[in-house]
Amino acid sequence: MSGHERSRHASSRPEPGQPVTRNTDANHELSIRVRDLNLWYGQSQALKNVNIDIYQKNVTALIGPSGCGKSTFLRCLNRMNDLIPNVRVEGLVEMDGRDVNAPKMDEVALRRRVGMVFQKPNPFPKSIYDNVVYAPRMHDLVSRKAEQDELVEKALRDAGLWEEVKDKLQEPGTSLSGGQQQRLCIARAIAVQPDVILMDEPTSALDPISTATIEDLMDKLKQQFTIITVTHNMQQAARVADYTAFFHLGEIIEYNDTKTMFANPAVKKTEDYITGRYG
Ligand SMILES: Nc1ncnc2c1ncn2[C@@H]1O[C@H](COP(=O)(O)OP(=O)(O)OP(=O)(O)O)[C@@H](O)[C@H]1O
């Protein structure tokens, strides 16, 4: 089988537990490569032989029933699981060709390259301005006040929040509405110019209008960043994601471009889940 045929084959019928391969053309450059990833919390295995290629400057959605390992997988990408006791990880997670779990990998630098936005907006108890500039200062990306001002404005503009907050930058981040707080958290994440942004159910605590605003934002941000998002909302996955991975009991059952997966799922379990027959 030629490389092209193999990638078409993999793209139409990905085998659970098998590496998913695709063409890496100009639109599909590899960001993250995961091979045979297994993770245990104590004796309990939460991820089983996960294999996936995640592409730069696309939105990839992780879907699946509660407890199937989506958040656990997300945390493998910036080594947040290291912070949980009794976690054991085996397998390869490579970002831009570098092993994320290598002993010489600097975790602080890794987390700068891989930002994270959580389900519940969690601004620091600081001003709007300081929320955005905190990490860039910590990483010595800015020093002069003018540089900081410029960076704050750019991050807030990119997060679609500038017009709403430009006259109250010294007010607490927590004084904003839930949807605005979430955009502030996105501004905070992008202020250090990461490569990847992980989003763990970023809209599940938000009203429909704030949700639509964040979805539009994801569409814009993917021009600059690789976005991986967990969602329980199938319509949201269909709207925002270029690729979707369906997790079930710690395994990836199916991974494909979103249009194909939703229109023509290769596996019955995927079909049952996305059509709401269980989950
Ligand atoms: N800190 C932890 N310690 C022990 N077990 C955990 C921990 N976090 C998650 N688990 C277990 O790992 C499995 C996967 O959980 P995870 O939170 O990754 O699933 P999920 O798909 O993100 O779920 P949800 O959609 O409900 O957020 C579950 O059985 C869960 O109980």
CATH topology of domain 3-274: Rossmann fold (3.40.50)
Give the number of other Cβ atoms within 10 Å of residue 23's Cβ: 14
Residue 137's pLDDT is what?
A: 94
162-191 per-position pLDDT tens digit: 999 999 999 999 999 999 999 999 999 999
Q: Where are the domains of the chain?
A: 3-274
Which residue, by CA, sits nearest to atom 14 of ligand 1?
69
Residue 9's pLDDT is what?
A: 35
Would you say the CB of residue 41 lies under 6 angstroms from ligand 1? yes
Would you say the CB of residue 70 lies under 6 angstroms from ligand 1? yes
Strands 196-200 and 226-230: parallel
Pocket test for ligand 1, best of 40, 41, 251 (most atoms within 8 A of CB): 41
**Joined tokens for residue 242:** 């270029």
Would you say the CB of residue 178 lies under 6 angstroms from ligand 1? no
Closest atom of ligand 1 to CA, residue 62 = 21
ipTM: 0.98
Contacts of 30 (CB under 8 A, 6+ apart): 24, 53, 54, 55, 56
| 279 vs 80, more confident | 80
The H or E element spanning position 238 is helix 234-240
CA of 67 to the centre of ligand 1 (A): 5
Which residue, by CA, sits nearest to atom 9 of ligand 1?
72
pTM of the model: 0.90
Would you say the CB of residue 46 lies under 6 angstroms from ligand 1? yes
Would you say the CB of residue 82 lies under 6 angstroms from ligand 1? no
pLDDT exceeds 90 at position 144: yes
51-88 per-position pLDDT tens digit: 999 999 999 999 999 999 999 999 999 999 988 999 99
Instruction: For residues 41 and 82, give the distance between their C-alpha atoms in angstroms, rounded to a whole number.
Output: 11
201-247 per-position pLDDT tens digit: 999 999 999 999 999 999 999 999 999 999 999 999 999 999 999 99
Comparing CA positions, the residue from 161, 155, 153 lying closest to residue 178 is: 161
Contacts of 189 (CB under 8 A, 6+ apart): 115, 116, 117, 197
